[in-house]
């Protein structure tokens, strides 16, 4: 199957695509995947002002290559790569890779748009183009995994075969104890799940929460037994039905996957859609969501926890990128020279054509291709990217030095420092812990509309260089240094600390994205009322009546009416029980609104039966998926 990279369009209308999505496939379709190459956050900022996150090197291999290798190994035959920022670079990278060779079993399509601002935008475009024909795998371009998803896929298809269109997503989790290095605070979750069916009953992120709140409906949802689990790592791998893309289209407020999960769980009683989970004890699956996870995954890669994806495997097939493996997990690329007295203690990867001076000590580090390292250099948990020059007498600990950067003699980088692309530091300076240095001045941010696109991948290439002529501060970067300490004049110390915390995934403060993904919108300390204000119920009743009248007058389809009433339910924070009460009242009183209160019984039923019974039965069927809900509706009618 020939590999392709470029903008794609598909024939066929959206209507035909939806028809195919609404029914289980009799014939097994080729497995497809949607890979989102944009991050839609600023976890790697300002590094990603020069390179998209999907192309950042991890173990001297671009992150997106790990994701594509995982998808291909799990049986995916067609992958749609969606990207916005630096799409040309991603496309060029893929065109040169093995994924676009005629022998590739996985056909890759690159689809670009400047309008993508969230995962929701991507999946709405998937639906508009009718790209997916059956169940598909949804991942980001920074997922590293060797998990075999065949069992999860089989379980997902079996559920959809038994219960038509009920299960719309299966999320894959890995058993991982709290505090494990593969877990970070921003992705820490608690999940309530039905023990038998594996249906997710509640999904909540714990970041920033002092206490946890669980909805009462998980205790009377019909499950004989359920579990509350905090020992699960979200692998950010989801098996989705084609309905997922449609649901994003129908719900414009779904921007993230967490928005979707929360919406499905809250709306399950109305629409009947369910989300399940698959837990694996074997395999490896982590999203590189920040530099803390970058450090963790890089270490795991060198320690061979992602086997068979190992540094010496050269799974990308690039020429001149092979390396040899020796004891203590030491990898040396071709053309590496090592000076006299230098030691590579353990867990070290050195890229091709790299030169290392004398009396160096290197441990738990990754060094890129074409790097030059002087004498008496000490590297511990250091990540040195391609084409970096490090002079003699340098010490680097748990820090990242990006491509084409230069570290002059006598420099010390304390923990969690980041030198972005082309930065020059030194000589003879010590950068404090958490220092971030970039060639882009922080004041550039004042000219960018951050509220419009909160992303790692904030595109500066679309605008002219707005950097004013500024002088580098030798007290910060050294007498020969080039770069700016990433501390904007408009930021106070607390906000500057937050930048470092976001990069390294420490105690993160909720930002715009995490707040939208938080399952408790009112905050942990605000008391939650189980019932809305009475005025809200009255306004909701008026809106439902108007919607019903307009639907009958304009002959609007019942599907659209249900969708509109469902959106009103969320707008006014109305519970399902109150929805049934309001709809019952509105339908039974509909003839009076048409002809006034002076109605005979015969006249009432002549207006009610032809129209309202059909409407009422339709809403009854759509809002009451379970027997006890129908019984409650009948009791409401009898008590009216």
Q: What is the DSSP string of 252-268?
A: TT--SHHHHHHHHHHHH
Average pLDDT (346-352) is 94
Give CA–CA dist 232/218, Å, rounded.
19
pLDDT: which is higher, 448 or 593: 593
What is the C-alpha separation between 323 and 370, in angstroms, rounded?
A: 14
Half-sphere exposure of 170 (CA within 13 A, CB side): 24
Residue 343: pLDDT over 60: yes
The sheet that has 107-112: what strands, in order across it?
107-112, 78-83, 32-36, 136-140, 232-240, 167-175, 274-280
DSSP string, 539-594: HHHHHHHHHHHHHHHHT--HHHHHHHHHHHHHHTT--HHHHHHHHHHHHHHHHHHH
Select the more confidently predicted residue: 53 or 508: 53
- Residues 6 or more apart whose CB falls under 8 angstroms from that of 1 comprise 77, 104, 105, 106, 107
Q: How wide is the angle at C-alpha 80 spanned by C-alphas 78 and 84, nearest 5°?
A: 165
Q: Taking all residues of the chain, what is their mean pLDDT, rounded to a whole number?
A: 78
- Show contacts of 451-454: CB within 8 Å, 24+ apart: 452/117, 453/117, 454/40, 454/41, 454/42, 454/511, 454/512, 454/513
Q: Where are the domains of the chain?
A: 32-208+221-287, 319-441, 536-639
Mean pLDDT score, 55-81: 93
Mean pLDDT of all residues in 398-411 = 95
Burial zone of 331 (CB within 10 Å; 0-12 exposed, 13-18 middle, 19+ buried): buried
User: According to the model, what pLDDT value does residue 406 have?
Assistant: 96
Whether 32-208+221-287 and 319-441 share one fold: the answer is no
Confidence label for 511 from pLDDT (cuts 50, 70 and 90): very low
At residue 264, the pLDDT reads 86
- pLDDT for residue 32: 94
pLDDT computed for residue 635 by the predictor: 66
pLDDT of 11 over the 50 cut = no
Cβ 395 vs Cβ 417: under 8 Å: no
Position 185 confidence tier, pLDDT thresholds 50, 70, 90: confident
* 434 Cβ contact partners less than 8 Å away, ≥ 6 residues apart: 414, 415, 416, 417, 497, 500, 504
The rounded distance, in Å, linking the Cα atoms of 632 and 579 is 12
pLDDT of residue 461: 44
Are residues 577 and 632 in contact, defined by beta-carbon separation less than 8 angstroms? yes
Rounded to 5 degrees, φ, ψ at 519 are -80, 0
Using the structure block, give the residue that is written with the tokens 């929460």.
Answer: 209
- Over residues 510-532, the mean pLDDT reads 40
Convert the pLDDT of each residue in 204-225 to its tens digit.
888 777 777 777 777 766 667 8
- Distance between CA atoms of residues 100 and 468, nearest Å: 42
| CATH class of the domain comprising 32-208+221-287 | alpha beta
Q: What is the pLDDT of residue 239?
A: 95
C-alpha 239/C-alpha 169 separation (Å) is 6
Q: Answer yes or no: is pLDDT of 464 > 80.
A: no
Residue 43 pLDDT grade (very low, low, confident, very high; cuts 50, 70, 90): confident
In percent, the amount of the chain with pLDDT more than 90 equals 39
What DSSP string runs through 339-375? -TT-EE-SSEEE-TT-EE-SS-EEESEEE-TT-EE-S
Longest alpha-carbon distance in the chain: 106
pLDDT per residue over 82-139, tens digit each?
Answer: 998 888 899 899 888 888 788 889 899 999 888 888 899 999 999 999 999 899 999 9
Tokens 């909540």 belong to residue: 204
Give the whole-number percent of the chain exceeding pLDDT 70: 74
Q: Cα 591 vs. chain centroid, distance in angstroms?
A: 49
Q: Is 65 helix (H, G, I), strand (E, B) or coil?
A: helix
- pLDDT at res. 449: 39
| Cα–Cα distance for residue pair 402/382, rounded to 1 Å | 11
For residue range 238-258, list pLDDT tens digits in order: 999 999 999 999 888 889 998
The whole-number pLDDT of residue 337 equals: 93
Domain 319-441: CATH superfamily, name plus number: Hexapeptide repeat proteins (2.160.10.10)
Per-residue pLDDT band for 599 (boundaries 50, 70, 90) equals low
Which residue blocks in 29-114 are alpha helix, DSSP H?
Answer: 63-73, 87-96
| Confidence class for position 276, pLDDT limits 50, 70, 90 | very high
Confidence of residue 529 (pLDDT cuts 50, 70, 90): very low
Over residues 307-331, the pLDDT tens digits come to 988 998 878 777 767 789 998 999 9
Match 């809305």 to its residue by tokens. Answer: 532
Kindly report whether the global pTM for this prediction surpasses the value 0.95. no
pLDDT score for 145: 94
Q: Regarding the domain delimited by 536-639, which CATH topology (the fold level of the hierarchy) does it fall under?
A: 1.25.40
Compare 12 and 613 and report the one with higher pLDDT. Answer: 613
Does 450 have pLDDT greater than 80?
no
Measure the CA–CA gap between 491 and 195, rounded to whole angstroms. Answer: 48
pLDDT value of residue 10: 38
Question: Regarding predicted confidence, which is higher, 189 or 524?
Answer: 189
């Amino acid at each position: 199957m020939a590999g392709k990279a470029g903008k794609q369009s598909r024939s066929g209308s959206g209507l035909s695509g939806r028809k195919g999505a609404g029914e289980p496939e009799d014939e097994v379709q080729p497995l497809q995947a949607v890979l989102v190459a944009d991050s839609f956050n600023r976890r790697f900022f300002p590094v990603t002002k020069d390179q998209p996150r999907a192309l950042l090197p991890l173990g001297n291999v671009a992150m997106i290559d790990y994701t594509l290798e995982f998808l291909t190994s799990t049986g995916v035959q067609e992958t749609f790569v969606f990207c916005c920022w630096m799409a040309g670079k991603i496309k060029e990278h893929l065109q040169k890779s093995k994924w676009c060779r005629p022998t590739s079993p996985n056909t890759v399509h690159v689809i670009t748009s400047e309008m993508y601002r969230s995962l929701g935008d991507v999946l709405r475009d998937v639906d508009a183009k009718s790209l997916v024909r059956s169940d598909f795998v949804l991942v980001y371009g920074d997922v590293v995994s060797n998990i075999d998803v065949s069992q999860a896929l089989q379980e997902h298809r079996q559920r959809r075969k038994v219960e038509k269109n009920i299960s719309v997503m299966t999320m894959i989790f890995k058993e991982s104890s709290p505090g494990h290095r593969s877990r970070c605070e921003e992705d820490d979750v608690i999940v309530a799940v039905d023990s038998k069916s594996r249906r997710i009953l509640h999904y909540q992120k714990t970041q920033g929460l002092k206490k946890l709140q669980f909805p009462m409906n998980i205790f009377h949802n019909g499950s004989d037994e359920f579990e509350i689990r905090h020992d699960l790592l979200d692998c950010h791998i989801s098996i989705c039905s084609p309905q997922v893309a449609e649901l994003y289209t129908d719900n414009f407020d779904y921007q993230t996957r967490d928005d979707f999960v929360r919406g499905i769980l809250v709306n399950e009683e109305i629409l009947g859609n369910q989300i399940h989970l698959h837990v694996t004890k074997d395999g490896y699956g982590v999203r590189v969501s920040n530099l803390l996870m970058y450090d963790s995954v890089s270490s795991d890669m060198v320690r061979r926890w992602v086997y068979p994806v190992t540094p010496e495997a050269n799974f990308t097939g690039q020429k001149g990128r092979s390396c040899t493996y020796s004891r203590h997990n030491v990898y040396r690329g071709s053309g590496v020279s090592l000076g006299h007295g230098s030691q590579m203690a353990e867990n070290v990867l050195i890229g091709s054509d790299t030169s290392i001076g004398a009396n160096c000590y290197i441990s738990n580090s990754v060094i890129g291709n074409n790097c030059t390292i002087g004498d008496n250099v000490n590297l511990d948990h250091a990540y040195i990217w391609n084409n970096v020059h490090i002079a003699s007498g340098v010490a680097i600990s748990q820090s990242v030095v990006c491509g084409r950067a230069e570290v002059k003699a006598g420099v010390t980088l304390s923990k969690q420092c980041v030198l972005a692309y082309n930065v020059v530091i030194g000589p003879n300076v010590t950068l404090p812990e958490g220092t971030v240095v970039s060639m882009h001045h922080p004041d550039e941010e004042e000219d960018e509309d951050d509220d419009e696109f909160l992303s790692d991948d904030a595109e500066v290439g679309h605008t002219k260089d707005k950097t004013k002529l500024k002088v580098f501060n030798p007290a910060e970067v050294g007498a020969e240094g080039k770069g700016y300490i990433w501390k904007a004049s408009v930021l106070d110390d607390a906000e500057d600390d937050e930048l470092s915390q976001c990069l390294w995934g420490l105690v993160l403060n909720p930002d715009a994205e995490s707040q939208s993904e938080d399952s408790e919108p009112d905050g942990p300390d605000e008391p939650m009322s189980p019932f809305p204000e009475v005025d809200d119920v009255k306004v909701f009743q008026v809106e439902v009546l108007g919607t019903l009248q307009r639907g009958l007058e304009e002959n609007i389809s019942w599907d659209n009416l249900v969708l509109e009433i469902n959106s009103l339910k969320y707008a006014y924070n109305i519970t399902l029980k109150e929805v049934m009460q309001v709809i019952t009242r509105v339908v039974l009183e509909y003839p009076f609104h048409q002809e006034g209160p002076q109605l005979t019984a015969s006249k009432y039923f002549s207006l009610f039966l032809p129209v309202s019974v059909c409407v009422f039965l339709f809403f009854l069927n759509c809002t009451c998926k379970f027997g006890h809900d129908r019984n409650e509706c009948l009791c409401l009618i009898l008590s009216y």
